[in-house]
Amino acid sequence: MGNQMTNRSTTGITRIGLAAAWFLMLVVMTAGNPANAELLIRITEGADSAIPVAVVPFSESGQIPSGDKVSNIVRDDLTMSGEFKPLPPEKMLSLPSKGDEVYFRDWRLLGQRYVLVGQLTRTGDKIEARYELFDVNREERILGATASSSVNSTRSLAHHISDKVYEAITGVPGAFSTKLAYVTLQRSGGEPMYRLQVSDVDGKRARVRLESDEPILSPAWSPDGKRLAYVSFETGKPAIYIHELSSGNRTRVADFRGLNSAPAWSPDGRSLLLTLSKDGNAEVYKMDIQSRSLKRLTNHWSIDTEPTWDHTGKGFFFTSDRSGGPQIYHKSSEDAEPRRITFGSRYNARPRPDDDGKYVYYVHQRDQAFHIARTNLQTEEETILTRTGSDESPSVSPNGRMLIYATKQSGDSVLTVIAADGGAAYSLPASEGDVREPAWSPIVK
């Protein structure tokens, strides 16, 4: 396909066909077996440098719901980050709930660097948490705070505490209160049913946002976390929709002839980057959401697709086969000349930069296997991060410390989260079947 795509005499009709074939490869990759709404969580690999931390079971006053224990959720959050190794409660020598009950010598004997203690109090339909984090070696409190939630939102309360603990220790905002969007496929009597779903980062509290018997692809979060853009084939051809999560209202914003694919929000939420072939070739466009006006940002005989803004909000990355096969390119502004970023193999696609401008992550083919790799944009050093062989659809956590992607694991289609340096990992399989197209939400203040 690469040789065909570099032939300058290719006709417009053929170019559309090749672009459609490339795009529809993504649709084929979403085919699979039944999937339930909620994802499971399976820790698969820990980091050797994980920080020992003791999350002591919080004391409880009043009728606290028994289902979701706040301290258990905090412990699980810190574990799945790959940066912490929580101490099991059964190995603790004591169970303090406030600072004056913490004896640092006991925790040093257990090899702990940090200790988190807390108290939960219910008043009416509210639960208040008072919590304190201590540095064992320095014997001092580094965090003390109060937070509250409704009785039915203890998971949100726990994720909030996890975020604060994570930031107090690492200096980086936590991402445990963010959300995941993803697509599942269920077959009933041989008929497919695609579902766009949104869950917590640990796969819990999943909600179906859209059902269709036609494929759903490329969910992308708005900067305020209130909307999703995605591609749906519900009319028999690809079209781009914007979906308000609170109301369920949907707006079809791109339904041109040919391809309508790969939406990506601008940092200010006012425009979308997208791929259109309405003028005879797959090119990157910018759409003003309010006016629906379009600006063409690439103009080449090759396939240009999968755009995403860089950390400045002025330039963007995209995938192009203008060098003979899919590679990552960058334009420092909308009107700049593109610069090729990847060189390590004949296939590099689906770029996803971090928010600091240091790395761009992407799908990388080597020896017939597809991995997730990253390139350091300053040194141009390329690093392969994954050891599985059917990896796709990377999405970077909003704090830049984790990466989620879709892959195969023991024959199952799962989502896998790894540390951004390729270290610790956990997987999020559906209880059965196929799950694809993950997208990590922003941190919303």
Backbone angles phi, psi at 14, to 5 degrees: -65, -40
Strand 114-123 to strand 59-61: parallel, antiparallel, or no bridges (unpaired)? parallel
Verify that 29 and 68 share a domain, yes or no: no
Q: Give the residue from 170, 187, 218 where a domain finishes.
A: 170
Among 170, 200, 218, the domain boundary falls at: 170
Do 156 and 248 fall into the same domain? Answer: no
Average pLDDT, the chain: 88
Alpha carbon of residue 12 to chain centroid: 35
Does 362 share its domain with 228?
yes
Asked whether residue 38 is domain-assigned, the answer is yes
Residues 313 and 392 reside in one and the same domain? yes
Same domain, 38 and 50: no
Residue 26 lies in a domain: yes
Confidence of residue 384 (pLDDT cuts 50, 70, 90): very high
CATH code, domain with 140: 3.40.50.10070
Residues 182 and 162 grouped into a single domain? no
28 pLDDT tier (thresholds 50, 70, 90): very low
Retrieve residue 8's tokens.
């300058």
User: Does any domain span residue 91?
Assistant: yes
Give the residues across from 294 on adjacent strands: 287
pLDDT surpasses 50 at 77 = yes
**Quick one: residue 289, left, alpha or beta (phi over 0 = left, psi -120 to 50 = alpha)?**
alpha
Q: β-pairing, 392-396 with 402-409?
A: antiparallel
Return the pLDDT at 48: 67
Supply the pLDDT for residue 351.
97
* Separation in Å, CA 245 to CA 101, 250, 252, 302: 44, 9, 15, 36
242/385 same-domain check: yes
Query: What is the maximum span of the chain, computed from C-alpha positions, in angstroms?
Result: 78
Domain end, chosen from 147, 170, 193, is at: 170
- Do 195 and 306 fall within a single domain? yes
CA 64 – CA 114 distance, rounded (Å)? 26
Which two structure tokens, joined as six digits, stand for 58? 């919080």
pLDDT at 20 over 90: no
How sure is the predictor about 46, in pLDDT bands with cuts at 50, 70 and 90? low
Q: Dig out the tokens for 212 from the structure.
A: 């269709």
What torsion, rounded to 10 degrees, do the Cα atoms 173, 179, 184, 186 define?
Answer: 140
In terms of Cα–Cα distance, which of 387, 414, 327 is closest to 362?
A: 327
Q: Is residue 195 part of a domain?
A: yes
Written as one letter, the residue type at 428 is L
Within a domain: residue 142?
Answer: yes
Confidence at residue 82, expressed as pLDDT on a 0 to 100 scale? 86
pLDDT tens-digit profile of 167-191? 999 999 999 999 999 999 887 777 8
| 402-425 residue pLDDT tens | 999 999 877 777 898 888 877 767
157 and 279 together in one domain: no
Q: Are residues 165 and 206 in the same domain?
A: no
Which of 30-44, 185-199, 306-320, 395-409 is the most confident on average? 306-320
Q: Which domain holds residue 30?
A: 2-42+176-440
Better-predicted residue by pLDDT, 37 or 402: 402
**pLDDT at res. 9:** 33
pLDDT on residue 281: 92
**Against a cut of 0.75, is the pTM above it?**
yes
Contact status, residue 46 vs residue 82, Cβ threshold 8 Å:
yes
User: Percentage of the chain with pLDDT > 70?
Assistant: 88
For residue 5, is pLDDT > 80? no
How does pLDDT run across 213-270, given as a tens digit for each residue?
A: 999 999 999 999 999 999 999 999 999 999 999 999 999 999 999 999 999 999 999 9
Q: What is the CATH number of the domain that holds 420?
A: 2.120.10.30
Q: Do the domain assignments include residue 22?
A: yes
In a domain, 445, yes or no: no
Model pLDDT for residues 117-148, shown as the tens digit of each residue: 999 999 999 999 999 999 999 999 999 999 99
Helix%, strand%, coil% for the chain, nearest 5: 15, 45, 40
Token code pair at residue 337: 């000349």
d(C-alpha 190, C-alpha 123), whole Å: 51
Are residues 198 and 267 located together in one domain of the fold?
yes
Same domain, yes or no: 70 and 18? no
State the DSSP string of 170-197: HSS---TT-EEEEEEEEEETTEEEEEEE
- Long-range contact list for 91-99, CB < 8 A, 24+ apart? 92/54, 92/56, 95/56, 95/57, 96/56, 97/56, 97/58, 97/59, 98/130, 98/132, 99/132, 99/134, 99/141, 99/144
Number of domains in the chain: 2
Whether residue 156 is contained in a domain is answered as yes
Using the predicted structure, report yes or no on whether residue 1 has a pLDDT greater than 50.
no
Neighbours of 148 (CB within 10 A): 15
